[in-house]
């Protein structure tokens, strides 16, 4: 692969500076005004997609992995028109700018703050090791079982979480079975 010329490196740096924090609307305006070309979009998209995927892999390898993993962005070859590149760049920018979502340090701060808040509310069963399980459990509860009238931080739900954790229940099917037994008075 031939080396980039000084002019190519300068253009790439200039485009990166223009697009790195830009929104969908801002990128669209720059493209429509002729400030950036389709080639610029393609090049920057490849760079920012790489950054996006790298951040996702870092988070996945950490102790604060995703509950809902962000979708993988398509490769530049898979995109067909300028709007696809603009949308992909804006999506990647939004993710990368959200340090509480895209960095291990930011995610740890969010987790630790949430645990401290839970402890202040008397929910001491949640710790760094079971925090992701607690979040998944709460999402399940909000979607599937809230109709029974318990608050998501009620003693009954906390007790159910403790039982689920004890029994190794870590998915919605197992939680639903435990909850049904709880409601029936079998637990």
Q: Whole-prediction pTM value? A: 0.81
Position 181 pLDDT exceeds 60 = yes
* Same domain? 19 vs 46: yes
d(CA 10, CA 41): 15
d(CA 181, CA 183): 6
Q: What confidence category does residue 1 fall into, taking pLDDT thresholds of 50, 70 and 90?
A: low
Is the CB of residue 40 less than 8 Å from the CB of residue 60?
Answer: no
Q: How far does Cα 150 stand from its chain's mean position?
A: 28
Does 134 fall in a domain?
yes
**Average per-residue pLDDT in the chain?**
90
* Same domain? 133 vs 87: no
- Residue 98 sits in which domain range? 6-102
Choose the most confident range, by mean pLDDT, from 9-13, 100-104, 137-141, 152-156: 100-104
* Total Cβ atoms within 10 A of residue 61: 9
Is the CB of residue 152 less than 8 Å from the CB of residue 142?
Answer: yes
Per-residue pLDDT of 40-52, as tens digits, reads: 999 999 999 999 9
Is the CB of residue 160 less than 8 Å from the CB of residue 182?
Answer: yes
Does 75 fall in a domain?
yes
């Amino acid at each position: 692969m031939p080396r980039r010329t000084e002019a190519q490196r300068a253009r790439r740096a200039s485009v990166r500076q223009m697009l790195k924090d830009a929104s969908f609307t801002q990128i669209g305006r720059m493209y429509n005004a002729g400030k950036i070309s389709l080639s610029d979009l393609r090049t920057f998209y490849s760079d920012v997609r790489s950054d996006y995927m790298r951040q996702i892999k870092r988070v996945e390898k950490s102790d604060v992995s995703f509950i809902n993993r962000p979708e993988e962005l398509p490769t530049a070859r898979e995109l067909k028109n300028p709007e696809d590149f603009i949308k992909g760049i804006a999506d990647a920018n939004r993710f990368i700018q959200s340090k509480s979502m895209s960095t291990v340090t930011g995610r740890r701060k969010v987790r630790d703050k949430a645990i401290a808040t839970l402890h202040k509310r008397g929910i001491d069963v949640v710790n760094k090791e079971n925090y992701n399980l607690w979040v998944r459990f709460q999402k399940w509860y909000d979607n599937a079982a809230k109709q029974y009238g318990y608050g998501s931080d009620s003693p009954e739900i906390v007790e159910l979480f403790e039982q689920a954790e004890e029994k190794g229940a870590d998915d919605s099917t197992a939680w639903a079975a435990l909850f049904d037994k709880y409601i029936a008075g079998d637990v």
